[in-house]
């Protein structure tokens, strides 16, 4: 599994952090497609010559068209501790998004209510509470601009279904390539220009402060912004 080996950002006895590609599933769904978790399990099985099944716990998810850092647990102890940390906001996640429009202000806090439509696999944004909707909060900041696009840093304060995609679109800043939330056209790779860029947390077992960042995609637009990230 050379492909996965080249995408491992960090690994120890307890956790493994991998750079996800657009189009990959973090964990299984109704499509039955091979998942990133399947690939990582095979990588671990081959690397350590493990007999039988390999334990790998899913700690968080990224939407299929999103790329960037995904952390898996290699032990049940790490999984239970990480689950608790994610639930209590102990893992700080920073994203980078390339949008088609400039936000109304250079930085700000978005507070909305999101309601998921299961049939459409889409979240709808409301300004006030409605039945079945959950509060969604994020901070954003414009980092740079090209002649047609804007680079926005997003700090997630809650973890809702399609939260960044829905809230930025609602603000008038649809993410490049995100047809589901109003983008003008798709990207060639079928992904969207949203990158799970940074993970900051205290190691669940070692108790050390950990910070990891994803490599920027190689396409021209992302590379245009590389000096300001």
99: tokens are 């949008």
3-state secondary structure of 51: coil
Q: Establish whether 12 is a catalytic residue.
A: no
Tokens 């978005």 label which residue?
110
Other Cβ atoms closer than 10 A to 30: 5
142: tokens are 């414009």
Spatial neighbors of 32 by CB under 8 A, at least 6 apart, are none
Whole-number Å distance between alpha carbons of 220 and 15: 32
Whole-number Å distance between alpha carbons of 229 and 227: 6
Instruction: Single out the catalytic residue among 38, 63, 102, 219.
Output: 63
Whole-number Å distance between alpha carbons of 156 and 189: 25
The torsion defined by the Cα of 18, 37, 25 and 151, in degrees rounded to 10, comes to: -10
3-state secondary structure of 208: coil
Tokens 């901070």 label which residue?
139
Find the DSSP H helices in the chain: 2-5, 36-47, 76-87, 163-170, 220-224
Residues that are catalytic: 63
């Amino acid at each position: 599994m050379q492909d996965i080996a080249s995408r491992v950002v960090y690994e120890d006895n307890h956790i493994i952090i991998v750079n996800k590609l657009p189009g990959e599933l973090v964990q299984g769904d109704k499509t039955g497609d091979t998942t990133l978790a399947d690939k990582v399990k095979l990588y671990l099985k081959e690397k350590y010559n493990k007999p039988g099944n390999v334990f790998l716990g899913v700690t968080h998810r990224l939407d299929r068209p999103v790329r960037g850092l995904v952390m898996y647990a290699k032990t049940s102890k790490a999984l239970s501790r990480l689950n608790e940390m994610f639930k209590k906001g102990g893992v700080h996640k920073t994203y980078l998004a390339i949008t088609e429009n400039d936000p109304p202000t250079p930085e700000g806090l978005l507070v909305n209510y999101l309601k998921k439509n299961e049939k459409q696999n889409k979240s709808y944004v409301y300004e006030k509470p409605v039945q079945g909707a959950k509060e969604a909060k994020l901070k954003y900041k414009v980092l740079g601009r090209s002649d047609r696009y804007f680079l926005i840093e997003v700090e997630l304060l809650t973890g809702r279904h399609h939260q960044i995609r829905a809230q930025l679109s609602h603000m008038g800043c649809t993410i490049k390539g995100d047809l589901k939330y109003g983008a003008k056209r798709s990207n060639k790779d079928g992904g969207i220009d949203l990158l799970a860029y940074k993970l900051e947390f205290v190691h669940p077992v070692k108790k050390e402060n950990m910070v990891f960042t994803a490599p920027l995609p190689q396409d021209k637009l992302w590379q245009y912004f590389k000096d300001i990230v």
